[in-house]
Structure 1
Amino acid sequence: MLPGTPDLFPEPDEPIFLGHCSVSPLYRPAARAIRDFTDDIAVHGVGGLKNHLDILPRLHANAGRLLGCPAADVSFVHNTAEALSMVANGYPFAPGDQVVSYVHEYPSNHYPWALQGRRGVELILLADRDPLGRPAPGDRPRGWSLEELEARVTARTRVVAVSHVQFSSGYAADLRLLGSFCRERGIDLVVDCAQSLGCLPVRPEDCHIAALAASGWKWLMGPWASGLLYTSSDFRRKLQPVMTGPGMMRQGLDYLDHRWNPHDDGRLFEYSTVAWDHAAGLNAVLEEVFLRYDIAAIRDEVFRLQEVFLAHCDPVLVRPLRFAAGNRSGIVALEVDGDLGTIMQQLATAGVVMTGPAGYLRLAPHFYQQDRQMIGAAAIVNRICAEQRSKGDN
C-alpha cells in the first residue's frame, strides 16, 4: 500500500475487488463531483453551467500531465470504441492499404479497422503466439510476436493497431520498441490503452504513438462511459472528421455562423455535447489519485500485490500465465480447472470479485489494496478451485 492510500480509499474490504480490468469501483470523490454537477443542473438548468465551465480545460490539462503530452492533444470521449472509430473512419486510406492488428484484439480495436474493408483496406491479423515459446493452451489467447509483425508489414502498411495490454491474457506490448519500429517505416501506431492507463506508465510522445484511446472506468476508477483520446498534431492533420457538431467549431455559441471552422487541437473530436458530469468525475480521480502518485510506483505496487496473492495460491489449482518483465501488466491470467462461470459466481458469493473472459480467471488488484486482502482472496480461490476439481474427479 502506498502512503496516504487509506485516506483516499477508507473502506476497501467488502468485497475484495480483484477485477480492475473490468469495471472498477467508482472513486467516491468522483461520484461526489458528478452529483455536484447534476445537482446544479437540476436546480438551475443552463444557469448551473457557469460553475463548471472549466471542466473540459481542466480535464485536457490533467490528462496531458498523466500522459506527458500537451493538453491540446487530448480529447474527452465516451469510450474506446467511439475514439477508435473516429480515428479509423477518418484515416485517409486508399484501396489496397493495409492495417496490421492481432487476431484476439478486443472488439473496440477490431471492428473499426475491419469495417475499412468496404474502402478496400486489408486487415492483416497477427497469429496468437506464446512470447516465451510455451505449448499452446488450447483456444486461450496468449500474445503476438514482433518477429511476425516484421514479416507481415509491407510497403502498403499504413497502420499498426494493437492494445498495449491484451484484455484476455495480460500480455503487454513493448511500446517503445513497437513505436520505434513503426516510426522507422512511416507507419502510424494506434494503441488501445484501456487495460494500461492508470496502471502502467504510458508516454505517447516517447513511444512515437500516433493515437491512443483509453476508457475511464477500468484502472482509472472513473465514471462509466468516460474516456480519453490522444492524437499527435501531425496525425490529426491526416484525419477527416466523421462526427460533426457545434462543439468542434471555433465560433462556439454563435450557432448561426455555419462556416466550416473546426478547432485543430483535441477539441476536433469533441464534436457536440459531451457528458460533462462524467468529465467532472474523471477530473476528480486524475487530480486526487493519478496526479498525486507516480505511475511507476502504482505499477510496482500492483505487481507486488500480484505476487502476494500468487504466493498464497496452490500452484496445482491456480496456474498463472507469466510473461517476461517487459511484457508484464496489471492483469495476471490464471488457468484453473472447472467451469469458469461457476467459479466466478461462487467467488462473488464468498466476497471476491474476479472476471474471466477467454478461458482465464483474471487477477487484477490495484495499488490501494492491502496484503491481507490478497492473502484472504487467495485462500477463497484455493477452496473454490479445490471444490471444482473434486467435482470434476467425481
Structure 2
Amino acid sequence: MNEHFPHADGLRYLNHAAVAPWPRRSAKAVSAFAAENARLGARDYPQWLRTEQRLRERLARLLGAQGTADIALVKNTSEALSFVAFGLDWRPGDQIVISDEEFPSNRVVWEALRPRGVEVIQVSLKGHDPEADLLAACGSRTRLMAISAVQYASGLRLDLQRLGEGCERQGVLLCIDAIQQLGALPFDVRQNRCAFAMADGHKWMLGPEGLGVFYCRSDLRERLELHEYGWHMLENAGDYDRQEWKPARTARRFECGSPNMLGAVALEASLSLLEEVSIAEVERSLAQRIEQLHQGLSAVPGLRLLSPTEPARRSGILSFSLDGWDNGTLFGRLKDEQIVCAQRGGGIRFSPHFYTPAQVIEDSVAIVRRLARER
C-alpha cells in the first residue's frame, strides 16, 4: 500500500481522525483537473458531472443507502447537522438525547435550539452499557437521538444497530455523526435504522476538506424545512427560464448552489481506492494496527490507555496519557519526532489507517517508551 501514499521520509502519520493525507491517485486527479481547467475551462463540464455522479454512487454504497436519491453533497458535517436541527418542526418541551463526549459540532447545534424550548439531555457513556443508558434517557418527549458512531476523543465505538432498533421502538429519530467511522469501519444506514447520517470526507475517507455527505431517509426529506435556496436545489435545475419552481424530490434539495467540483474529483478518487481494497479489508487491517498499538503502548511504564480495550468497542482511535508529562508538552515532543497525532480529551490521540506501515507503529511506540523513561 505504500505506493498509494507518498509520505515524506521519516513521517509517522497517526492523525486520520483529524485530517488525512490524500492517496497518490487523488493528488494526481486534482492535478489533472487543474491542468484541464487551465487549458479548456469548463468545455468538458459534462465529464465533470459524470465524476460527481460516480462519487454519489460510491457514497451511497459506502453508507448502505438505497440509492443516490438519498445522498446530498454538503460542505461538512456541521452543515448537515444544521439541516436537521433547523429543519425539524420542534415544539416547546421536545427533547434531544446526546452523549457527554460529543465533538462540539454534535452538541452546539442542538443547544442552539434552546430558545425554541427544546431540551438537550446529555448521557454519560462511562457506564458498562452505554446503549442501554442512551435508550433509557429517551422518554415520551424525546424526538431525536443524536450520537457519534465513534467518539472523537476516546474512540469508543457504539452498537448502532442496537440504538437504531431501540429508537425505532420508541418512535425516536436517530441521527448519526459518522465522521469517525465512515471509511474506516462498515456502516449501514438501513441496518442501523438511521433517519439521518453525515460525515466529512477529510478523515477516514482520505479526501479533501470542504466536502461531505448527508444521508436523509426518503420519507423524511420533505419534513425538513429548507433554509437555503438556489438554482441547484430545484427539481428542474438547469432550466433557467422556468418561472415556477419546487425543491428537488431527491436529497439534492439540500444542495443550494454550485457544486464543489474540485473536491468531488479528489474524494471520488480516494473512495475508488477504498472500494478496491474493500471496507471489510480496511476494517481488518485497521484492527491489526490498533492491536499492535494497544499491545505496544500497554507495555510502556506509566502509560494509561484512555480508549476501550474490548475489540467490539474499538475503532481507529487509541488515546493515552503518560505519567509525569503534561499533554501539551508531550504532544510537542512527539511532533519533534515526526509523529503526526492530536491532543484530545485529556490525552494524546493516535489514529492510524489500514495502510499505515507496521514499522511506523513500532517506531512510534518506541519513541513513547523512550519519552516515558525521561520522567
TM range (shorter): over 0.9
The alignment partner of 2:352 has SS state of: coil
Please give the alpha-carbon distance, in whole angstroms, between the structure 2 residues aligned to 1:178 and 1:160: 9
> 8 Å contact 1:86–1:243 — kept in the other structure?
no
For 1:220-231, list aligned pairs within 5 A. Answer: 220-231=205-216
Please give the alpha-carbon distance, in whole angstroms, between the structure 2 residues aligned to 1:72 and 1:331: 32
Matched, 1:324 2:321: no
Alignment equivalent of 1:346, drawn from 321, 330, 333? 333
2:249 counterpart residue number: 264
> 8 Å contact 1:22–1:355 — kept in the other structure?
yes
Matched, 1:9 2:8: no
1:40 counterpart residue number: 36
The alignment partner of 1:47 has SS state of: coil
Shift of 1:155: 1.1
Q: How many residues align?
A: 371
Please give the alpha-carbon distance, in whole angstroms, between the structure 2 residues aligned to 1:251 and 1:265: 12
With normalisation by structure 2, the TM-score equals: 0.93
The alignment partner of 1:123 has SS state of: strand
Alignment equivalent of 2:354, drawn from 367, 373, 380? 367
1:220 partner amino acid = M
Please give the alpha-carbon distance, in whole angstroms, between the structure 1 residues aligned to 2:290 and 2:117: 45
The alignment partner of 2:345 has SS state of: helix
Shift of 1:242: 1.6
For 1:82-161, list aligned pairs within 5 A. Answer: 82-127=79-124, 129-132=125-128, 145-161=130-146
1:305 counterpart residue number: 289
1:296 counterpart residue number: 280
Over residues 75-119 of structure 1, what are the superposed CA-to-partner deviations in whole Å (9 max), with x where a residue is unaligned? Answer: 111110011111111112222211111122111111221111122
Shift of 1:167: 0.4
1:185 counterpart residue number: 170
Of 79-88 and 104-113, the range deviating more from structure 2? 104-113
> 8 Å contact 2:131–2:158 — kept in the other structure?
no
Call closer, same or farther: CA 1:304–1:12 in 2, change over 3 Å: farther
The alignment partner of 2:205 has SS state of: coil
2:368 counterpart residue number: 381
Shift of 1:13: 5.1
Shift of 1:258: 3.9
> 8 Å contact 2:235–2:245 — kept in the other structure?
no
1:324 partner amino acid = E
> 8 Å contact 1:306–1:363 — kept in the other structure?
no
Call closer, same or farther: CA 1:131–1:326 in 2, change over 3 Å: farther
Please give the alpha-carbon distance, in whole angstroms, between the structure 2 residues aligned to 1:60 and 1:359: 37
The alignment partner of 1:273 has SS state of: coil
> 8 Å contact 1:30–1:223 — kept in the other structure?
no
2:279 partner amino acid = I
For 1:235-274, list aligned pairs within 5 A. Answer: 235-274=220-259
Shift of 1:130: 2.2
Please give the alpha-carbon distance, in whole angstroms, between the structure 2 residues aligned to 1:247 and 1:271: 5
> 8 Å contact 1:340–1:356 — kept in the other structure?
yes
1:63 counterpart residue number: 59
With normalisation by structure 1, the TM-score equals: 0.89
Please give the alpha-carbon distance, in whole angstroms, between the structure 2 residues aligned to 1:316 and 1:145: 30
Shift of 1:175: 0.3
Shift of 1:148: 2.6
Of 9-18 and 366-375, the range deviating more from structure 2? 9-18
Gaps of 5+ in 1: 133-143
Over residues 155-211 of structure 1, what are the superposed CA-to-partner deviations in whole Å (9 max), with x where a residue is unaligned? Answer: 111100010001011111100100000111111100101111111110011110011
2:137 partner amino acid = R
Call closer, same or farther: CA 1:13–1:71 in 2, change over 3 Å: farther
Structure 1 segments (4+ residues) deviating >6 Å: none
Shift of 1:254: 2.6
Gaps of 5+ in 2: none
The alignment partner of 1:379 has SS state of: helix
Please give the alpha-carbon distance, in whole angstroms, between the structure 1 residues aligned to 2:351 and 2:127: 21
> 8 Å contact 2:235–2:249 — kept in the other structure?
no
> 8 Å contact 1:67–1:204 — kept in the other structure?
yes
Over residues 338-383 of structure 1, what are the superposed CA-to-partner deviations in whole Å (9 max), with x where a residue is unaligned? Answer: 1112211211111211112121211211111222221111101111
Over residues 262-312 of structure 1, what are the superposed CA-to-partner deviations in whole Å (9 max), with x where a residue is unaligned? Answer: 11212111111121100110000111x211122122112112112223333
Call closer, same or farther: CA 1:252–1:354 in 2, change over 3 Å: same
Of 240-249 and 320-329, the range deviating more from structure 2? 320-329
For 1:24-39, list aligned pairs within 5 A. Answer: 24-39=20-35
The alignment partner of 2:113 has SS state of: helix
Please give the alpha-carbon distance, in whole angstroms, between the structure 2 residues aligned to 1:252 and 1:226: 21
Please give the alpha-carbon distance, in whole angstroms, between the structure 1 residues aligned to 2:231 and 2:347: 44
The alignment partner of 2:366 has SS state of: helix
Shift of 1:336: 1.8
